[in-house]
Amino acid sequence: MRKLLRALLISFLFTFSLGIYFTNRLMYMKKKDEHFIVMREKEAGRFDPDRFDSLSKREVTIASAFGYPIKALLVEPHESNRYVIISHGVTETKINSIKYMNLFLERGFNAIIYDHRRHGESGGKTTSFGHYEKFDLKAVTDWLRRAKGPDLLLGIHGESMGAATMLLYAGMLEDGADFYIADCPFSDLKEQVSYQLEKDFKMVPKLLIPIADIILRVRDKYSIRNVSPISVIQNIKHPILFIHSEHDDFILPTMTKELYEQKQGPKMLYLAANGKHAQSYNENPKDYERVIDEFLLKYVEQS
Domain boundaries, the chain: 1-30+190-222, 33-188+227-299
What's the pLDDT at 101?
Answer: 98
Question: According to CATH, what is the number of the domain 33-188+227-299?
Answer: 3.40.50.1820
- Asked whether the beta carbons of 181 and 111 are under 8 A apart, the reply is no
| pLDDT tens for each residue of 91-140 | 999 999 999 999 999 999 999 999 999 999 999 999 999 999 999 999 99
What's the pLDDT at 301?
Answer: 86
What's the pLDDT at 214?
Answer: 92
Task: Report the interhelical angle of 189-201 vs 205-220 (nearest 10°).
Answer: 130
What's the pLDDT at 11?
Answer: 62
What's the pLDDT at 5?
Answer: 64
What's the pLDDT at 181?
Answer: 98
What's the pLDDT at 7?
Answer: 60
What's the pLDDT at 174?
Answer: 85
Q: Provide the β-strand partners of residue 181.
A: 157, 241
Q: Provide the β-strand partners of residue 183.
A: 159, 243
Is the entire prediction scored with pTM above 0.75? yes
What's the pLDDT at 275?
Answer: 97
| pLDDT tens for each residue of 265-299 | 999 999 999 999 999 999 999 999 999 999 999 99
What's the pLDDT at 268?
Answer: 98
What's the pLDDT at 302?
Answer: 72
What's the pLDDT at 204?
Answer: 64
CA distances for 20 relative to 14, 28, 203, 265, angstroms: 10, 12, 15, 41
Positions in the chain whose pLDDT score sits under 70: 1-12, 202-205, 303
CA distances for 124 relative to 117, 132, 217, angstroms: 5, 10, 17
**CA–CA separation, 281 and 254 (whole Å):** 19
133 residue type, one letter: E
- Asked whether the beta carbons of 167 and 185 are under 8 A apart, the reply is yes
What's the pLDDT at 273?
Answer: 97
CA distances for 109 relative to 12, 89, 296, angstroms: 54, 21, 12
What's the pLDDT at 198?
Answer: 84
